[in-house]
Amino acid sequence: MQLATREKIDNAAKLLFRMTGLMVIAILAGILLMLLWNTAAFFLKVKPFDFITGTQWNPSGSPAIYGMLPLLVSTSLVTFGAMCIAIPLGIGTASFLSDYAGKKLKSILKPAIEMLASVPSVAIGFLGIVVLGPGIAGMTGQSNGLNALNGAILLAIMSLPTIITVTQDALEGVPNAYKEASYSVGANRWQTLILVTIPAAAPGILAAIMLGVGRAIGETMTVLMATGNVSAFPKGFFHSVRTMTATIAIEMGEVPYQTTHYYGLFAIAAVLFLMTLLVNVVGEYFVNKYRKYQAA
Amino acid sequence: MNKEHIKLSATAAKLWFGTKQVLKNVTVAFPENKITALIGPSGCGKSTLLRCFNRMHDLSPDARIEGKFLLEEQNLYKGNLTATAVRRRIGMVFQQANPFPKSIYEKINYGLKINDIPKHERPAIIENALKESYIWDEVKDDLQKPATKLSGGQQQRLCIARTVALRPEVILMDEPCSALDPISTSKVEELILKLKKDYTIVIVTHNMQQAQRIADKTVFMYLGEIIEAGDTHQLFNKPQQEMTGNYVKGHFG
Ligand SMILES: Nc1ncnc2c1ncn2[C@@H]1O[C@H](COP(=O)(O)OP(=O)(O)OP(=O)(O)O)[C@@H](O)[C@H]1O
Ligand SMILES: [Mg+2]
């Protein structure tokens, strides 16, 4: 009797979780279909080439212009800036944690860095408006500091935890024998790190960078708050920009249903999806290569 | 066998990893231009003792060392002597040929680069080190080949070449033949015997035959202490301690 009940619960649980698993696939497929469907609808009205290479995004003008290049360049600019900051800092910090830091410092830093990853992006956005913005404005003499640089710094902060954690794992995965062989011929820590440990961990570090890039490209709230949201063609780090994500988030709320503009936002999302997919695939490739390398 | 010049020594050496004491009052001396074998059951602290001499423990934060370690008259842990300077004078060959994917040439070149040896001198030093290590004939046709493509025995001789290229005074070897087949082992042993005229060699081994084949002196360790040290022949055939006799006859360990 009891056994039969337990069996039933067991079966019910199995069913529930199998359904959850299938649902994930269904949702993923649904999103993909929705993106493709709406993108296709958009491309019936606007040529894909014009969409990608058009230098003006002005959906409410007459005639409406749907060129996403400024948005694409904005996203690239902010992401590139973020990586210029986060990659050296991240690799440096990870190296410090894995090779230099004492146990005590490590036990404080490690959870702190992980905590940084869990700060909501809205809160980081505040930081951009309240601290960084006025700071940049003060230094450059502009009226406000909401620009690409501001967004890049914030995105760097947000992608640092990922880059640090994954890089540190990669560095610590380098066999001790490699390092000891280097030390035994008289190399110091720095030489060993630069000439042996980092090259040996390179695939893992590349994976870390890819994950960081993915994080930065897809981030919405922070850039929405910090970059000023001017959809003109970006002129540089000290100018306001408007990324792809921010554009979708801003315009989706007010666009009439099933208009060209509405479809256009889906098309942007589709491009964004392709970009993050590409970054993730490349990252995943390096992670796998790294695992194989480790096992060998 | 009398009146030997002592090249390397430890006096009252103690070492802890955290709270665990691994070396308990070790006093030992290694004579110049001799091969000394370090034997003892697994975990008795042979590698730990060996690594004290080239200051490898500097890298593990929970290791604490006491005692006096001398190279000639020089205290290895005192004064302004850096660990890297010590390692330059006391080379080390590891149990496993380091599998770092580099070319044969680059593997030896690395140490030369690290030690700021002028670029134009390096090719000659590398060739010489390979010849000294009796591996030149086997690799001279393709020095750019990845070292990982060599056999285990060749890799181990390459590691020895890397060490001798820096002209150390002492070479520490931690079970250099434990991963090798008998033929490669005998080649490496032959090499070690030839190196003895220029270097002082300390070799950790679990192979009793190997110790008897190549070592002038043998030191028997047990649980972090030296039980007995002396001429190899005597230690194996007329041990002073019962424990030594049992160990070399394979009765425990
Ligand atoms: N880095 C370390 N941290 C903590 N304990 C260590 C460390 N290295 C070695 N030990 C411990 O010290 C003891 C001696 O180790 P050691 O490697 O010197 O033994 P060994 O005589 O070389 O053994 P084997 O013949 O197996 O190589 C062992 O109990 C080992 O667990
Ligand atoms: Mg050992």
Q: What's the CATH number where A247 sits?
A: 1.10.3720.10
Asked whether the CA dihedral A38, A263, A242, A254 is positive or negative, the reply is negative
Which residue of B99, B111, B159 is in closest CB contact with A186? Answer: B111
What does the pLDDT read at residue B1?
A: 46
Contacts of A185 in chain B (CB under 8 A): 87-88, 91, 110-111, 114-115, 162-163, 166
A52 domain residue, yes or no: no
Helix axes A260-295, A244-252, angle to 10 degrees: 140
**Residue B241 backbone phi and psi in degrees, to 5:** -105, 140
Joined together, the tokens standing for residue B192 give 């070690």
**Residue B27 backbone phi and psi in degrees, to 5:** -125, 125
B46 lines ligand 1 (CB under 6 A): yes
A104: pLDDT confidence band, cut at 50, 70 and 90? confident
Is the minimum CB–CB distance between B156 and chain A shorter than 8 Å? no
Residue A64 shares a structural domain with residue A126: yes
Is the minimum CB–CB distance between A191 and chain B shorter than 8 Å? yes
**pLDDT > 90? residue B187:** no
B3: pLDDT confidence band, cut at 50, 70 and 90? low
A76 domain residue, yes or no: yes
Contact A125, A52 (CB under 8 A): no
The stretch B101-126 carries a mean pLDDT of: 90
What does the pLDDT read at residue A245?
A: 93
A192 domain residue, yes or no: yes
What does the pLDDT read at residue A1?
A: 61
Contact A163, A201 (CB under 8 A): no
Joined together, the tokens standing for residue B212 give 């008897």
**pLDDT > 90? residue A284:** no
Q: State the amino acid at position A29 in one-letter form.
A: A
Residue A38 shares a structural domain with residue A62: no
Q: Hey, whose CA ends up nearest to atom 30 of ligand 1?
A: B43
Q: Which long-range contacts (CB under 8 A, 24 or more apart) does B185-194 make?
A: B185/B153, B185/B210, B187/B134, B187/B153, B187/B157, B188/B153, B188/B156, B188/B157, B188/B160, B189/B213, B189/B214, B190/B134, B191/B133, B191/B134, B191/B157, B191/B160, B192/B35, B192/B160, B193/B35, B194/B134
B252: pLDDT confidence band, cut at 50, 70 and 90? low
Using CA coordinates, name the residue in chain A closest to B51: A184
The stretch A265-293 carries a mean pLDDT of: 83
Quote the minimal CA–CA distance from B88 to chain A in Å: 5
Cβ-defined contact of B162 to A185 (cutoff 8 Å): yes
B224 lines ligand 1 (CB under 6 A): no
Contacts of A100 in chain B (CB under 8 A): none
Domain count, chain A: 2
Joined together, the tokens standing for residue B122 give 């390096």
Is the minimum CB–CB distance between A101 and chain B shorter than 8 Å? no
User: Percentage of chain B surpassing pLDDT 90?
Assistant: 61
**pLDDT > 60? residue A295:** no
Q: Hey, whose CA ends up nearest to atom 19 of ligand 1?
A: B43
Quote the minimal CA–CA distance from A198 to chain B in Å: 12
Residue A34 shares a structural domain with residue A70: no
- Domain enclosing residue A13, as ranges: 3-44
Q: Burial letters for B214-226: b for 16+ Cβ neighbours within 10 Å, e otherwise? A: bbbbbbbbbebeb
CA angle B142, B98, B104 (to 5 degrees): 15
What does the pLDDT read at residue A125?
A: 92
Cβ-defined contact of B115 to A182 (cutoff 8 Å): no
Residue A32 shares a structural domain with residue A109: no
Interatomic CA distance for residues A251 and A264, integer angstroms: 10
**pLDDT > 60? residue B208:** yes
What does the pLDDT read at residue B98?
A: 65
Residues 6+ apart with CB under 8 A from B177: B156, B184, B185, B188, B189, B205, B207, B210
Cβ-defined contact of A184 to B96 (cutoff 8 Å): no
Nearest to A275 by CA among A50, A29, A71: A71
Is the minimum CB–CB distance between B116 and chain A shorter than 8 Å? no
Is the minimum CB–CB distance between A187 and chain B shorter than 8 Å? yes
- Testing ligand 1's pocket by substitution, the residue of B19, B48, B202, B252 carrying the most ligand atoms inside 8 A of its CB is B48
Please give the model's pTM, rounded to 2 decimal places.
0.81
Helix axes A148-172, A103-117, angle to 10 degrees: 130
What does the pLDDT read at residue B34?
A: 94
Q: Hey, whose CA ends up nearest to atom 28 of ligand 1?
A: B43
In ligand 1, the atom with minimum distance to the C-alpha of B221 is 21
Cβ-defined contact of B99 to A177 (cutoff 8 Å): yes
Sheet holding B20-31, edge to edge: B20-31, B6-17, B63-71, B74-75
Residue A102 shares a structural domain with residue A7: no
Look at A37 and B145; give whichever has higher pLDDT.
Answer: A37
Residue A7 shares a structural domain with residue A136: no
Question: Ligand 2 center to residue A199 CA distance, Å?
Answer: 28
Q: State the amino acid at position B35 in one-letter form.
A: I
What does the pLDDT read at residue A89?
A: 97
In this structure, which topology does domain B6-248 adopt according to CATH? Answer: Rossmann fold (3.40.50)
Look at B240 and A289; give whichever has higher pLDDT.
Answer: B240
The stretch A24-39 carries a mean pLDDT of: 94
Q: What is the pLDDT of residues A69-97, one digit of tens each?
A: 999 999 999 999 999 999 999 999 999 99
Q: What is the pLDDT of residues A129-180, one digit of tens each?
A: 999 999 998 888 888 888 899 999 999 999 999 999 999 999 999 888 888 8
Question: Ligand 2 center to residue A215 CA distance, Å?
Answer: 45
Residue A117 shares a structural domain with residue A223: yes
Interatomic CA distance for residues B76 and B56, integer angstroms: 12
User: Percentage of chain A surpassing pLDDT 90?
Assistant: 57
Quote the minimal CA–CA distance from B109 to chain A in Å: 11
Which has the minimum average pLDDT: A93-97, A232-236, A270-274?
Answer: A232-236
Residues 6+ apart with CB under 8 A from A256: A262
Is the minimum CB–CB distance between B87 and chain A shorter than 8 Å? yes
Cα separation of the two ends of chain A: 52
A296: pLDDT confidence band, cut at 50, 70 and 90? very low
A51 domain residue, yes or no: no
A50 domain residue, yes or no: no
A112 domain residue, yes or no: yes
What does pLDDT average to over chain B?
Answer: 90
Domain ranges for chain B:
6-248
Residues 6+ apart with CB under 8 A from B104: B139, B142, B143, B144, B145, B146, B147, B150, B158
A87 domain residue, yes or no: yes
Contacts of A179 in chain B (CB under 8 A): 59
Residue A33 shares a structural domain with residue A106: no
**pLDDT > 90? residue B133:** no
3-state class (DSSP) for residue B249: coil
Which residue of B59, B94, B115 is in closest CB contact with A181? Answer: B94
Quote the minimal CA–CA distance from A177 to chain B in Å: 6
Q: Hey, whose CA ends up nearest to atom 24 of ligand 1?
A: B42
DSSP state of B5: P
Which has the minimum average pLDDT: B141-155, B190-204, B209-223, B230-244?
Answer: B141-155
Residues whose Cβ atom is located within 5 A of ion ligand 2: B 47
Quote the minimal CA–CA distance from B115 to chain A in Å: 7
Cβ-defined contact of A191 to B114 (cutoff 8 Å): yes
Interatomic CA distance for residues A154 and A160, integer angstroms: 10
Three-state secondary structure string covering chain A: CHHHHHHHHHHHHHHHHHHHHHHHHHHHHHHHHHHHHHHHHHHHHCCHHHHHHCCCEECCCCCCEECCHHHHHHHHHHHHHHHHHHHHHHHHHHHHHHHHCCHHHHHHHHHHHHHHHCCCHHHHHHHHHHHHHHHHHHHHCCCCCCCHHHHHHHHHHHHHHHHHHHHHHHHHCCCHHHHHHHHHCCCCHHHHHHHHHHHHCHHHHHHHHHHHHHHHHHCCHHHHHHCECCCCCCCCCCCCECCHHHHHHHHHCCCCCCCHHHHHHHHHHHHHHHHHHHHHHHHHHHHHHHHHHHHC
ipTM: 0.87
